Amino acid sequence: MEQLKQKIREEGVILSQQVLSLDSVLNHQIDPQLMMEMGKEFAARYAGNHITKIVTVESSGIPIAFATAYFLNVPMVFARKKKTRVMDEDSLVERVPSFTKGFVTELVISRKMVLPTDHVLIIDDILANGEGLKALHRMIGTIGAPIVGLGVAVEKTFQKGSLAFREMGVRVESLVKINSLADGIIHMD
Amino acid sequence: MEQLKQKIREEGVILSQQVLSLDSVLNHQIDPQLMMEMGKEFAARYAGNHITKIVTVESSGIPIAFATAYFLNVPMVFARKKKTRVMDEDSLVERVPSFTKGFVTELVISRKMVLPTDHVLIIDDILANGEGLKALHRMIGTIGAPIVGLGVAVEKTFQKGSLAFREMGVRVESLVKINSLADGIIHMD
């Protein structure tokens, strides 16, 4: 995905050897045309897999998940990060330690939104250590819906999330692989 | 917007005379085709207004804001609800009391994402008391960018947000007006 790679090269800000800020690309501002292209790409890679639902985690995953759901013509569900007062009682909750935020959050998903009969594609913006996506994966497993695979815009191969998923036998598709942030350079595939 | 109205009628759950759960319509699950229609409608209503940026608040506003930004062909910025460790220092912060969540949250937006030269359209899912949107309005005012108007999927006319904005002279466009939740019925315009 050359267009995304170029945007990351131009606008990504290296904060440490582990952390790359993509605020103006994925996490705070987005380019809707590029997001639609990214969604179209995931839809193409997972075409013919009988996906019935796209699941993501709020918030940065929502635009890409939405675009993917649009092209696959299925609903999109976003797990919430805190139990709001109006959420129904029939909800699953998982704890997630977040590296970038420095604290534990709770992920919430309603059993009404993802059914055991669904075929789920999980979409998110960045796969680093993958704690949030692992929690989401556990929750969908608890519901009993088969997970067809995972699609992430950016895979940080030098952190342990993508390897962990592949070792679990989960198909992982990424649009850009970041292999290192050493020496102040974003090394990408 | 008949399609949205019908979905609200079928899937909305009245929790009290003030609170309507729209989890399967806007706040937890979305229909991407319907969202695109909603975005197209906002884009049509605000066409010719020289909008350069769509601004929303995470998370439920993101899909509609994204769709609107797509059709207006401009970037979309979402204000974050908490300062994450990787967000830059040049950020504005506003406190927001939330009725449905029962606690105060902080809204964060970076001065790098919205510039004084931008013409801003604010988009969100629901306008009830409007505390979040008022905070967003104040932040964009602090930046100095002109606000062309506000677009919300659902306006609850029996709560005070929409009146407050109109009294401030802000153009408010809504796709569905909910006038009352009395007697267990969703009264809509």
- What are the structure tokens assigned to B138, written together? 């104040």
Question: What count of residues does chain B have?
Answer: 189
Residue of A181, A156, A177 whose CA lies nearest to A4: A177
- Can you give the pLDDT at residue A142? 96
- Can you give the pLDDT at residue B105? 84
Among B59, B112, B120, the strongest candidate for a mutation testing the A interface, having the largest count of A CBs within 10 A, is B59
Of all residues in chain B, the one with the smallest CA distance to A21 is B86
Asked if A29 and B76 come within 8 Å (Cβ–Cβ), the reply is yes
Of all residues in chain B, the one with the smallest CA distance to A58 is B59
Asked if A15 and B86 come within 8 Å (Cβ–Cβ), the reply is yes
Asked if A31 and B75 come within 8 Å (Cβ–Cβ), the reply is yes
CATH of A32-177, one of 3.30.1330.200, 3.90.650.10, 3.40.50.2020, 3.40.50.2300: 3.40.50.2020
User: Can you tell me the ipTM of this complex?
Assistant: 0.94
CA distance to partner chain A, nearest, from residue B68 (Å): 9
B30 interfacial to chain A (CB closer than 8 Å): yes
- Can you give the pLDDT at residue B101? 59
Determine the 3-state secondary structure of B188 from DSSP: strand
A36 interfacial to chain B (CB closer than 8 Å): yes
Among B22, B23, B93, B109, the strongest candidate for a mutation testing the A interface, having the largest count of A CBs within 10 A, is B23
- Can you give the pLDDT at residue B99? 64
Whole-number Å distance between alpha carbons of B157 and B155: 6
B78 interfacial to chain A (CB closer than 8 Å): yes
| pLDDT of chain A, 189 residues: tens digit per residue | 999 999 999 999 999 999 999 999 999 999 999 999 999 999 999 999 999 999 999 999 999 999 999 999 999 999 998 755 555 678 888 888 766 656 788 899 999 999 999 999 999 999 999 999 999 999 999 999 999 999 999 999 999 999 999 999 999 999 999 999 999 999 999
B88 chain-A contacts, CB cut-off 8 A: 13, 21, 23
Q: How far lies A173's CA from each of A23, A116, A151, B40, B141, in Å? A: 22, 23, 5, 30, 41
Which residues numbered 122-151 in A keep a CB inside 8 Å of some CB on B? none
Asked if A76 and B32 come within 8 Å (Cβ–Cβ), the reply is yes
CA distance to partner chain B, nearest, from residue A78 (Å): 6
Whole-number Å distance between alpha carbons of A154 and A160: 13
CA distance to partner chain A, nearest, from residue B97 (Å): 13
A139 chain-B contacts, CB cut-off 8 A: none
Give residue limits of the domains in chain A: 32-177
* Full-model pTM: 0.95
Residue of B164, B161, B128 whose CA lies nearest to B22: B128
- Can you give the pLDDT at residue A11? 96
Of all residues in chain A, the one with the smallest CA distance to B84 is A101
- Can you give the pLDDT at residue A59? 94
Q: Is CATH 3.40.50.2020 what the domain over B31-176 is classified as, yes or no?
A: yes
CA distance to partner chain A, nearest, from residue B34 (Å): 10
- Can you give the pLDDT at residue A95? 87
- Cβ-Cβ contacts under 8 Å between A and B: the total is 129
Whole-number Å distance between alpha carbons of A156 and B86: 16
- Give the residue ranges of chain B where pLDDT is below 50: none
- Can you give the pLDDT at residue B26? 95
Among the partner-chain residues A29, A67, A70, the one whose CB lies closest to the CB of B33 is A70
- Can you give the pLDDT at residue A90? 85
Counting DSSP H helices and E strands in chain B, the numbers are 5, 11
- Can you give the pLDDT at residue A99? 64
- Can you give the pLDDT at residue A5? 97
Of all residues in chain A, the one with the smallest CA distance to B70 is A32
* Torsion angle (degrees, nearest 10) of CA B160, B177, B25, B138: -40
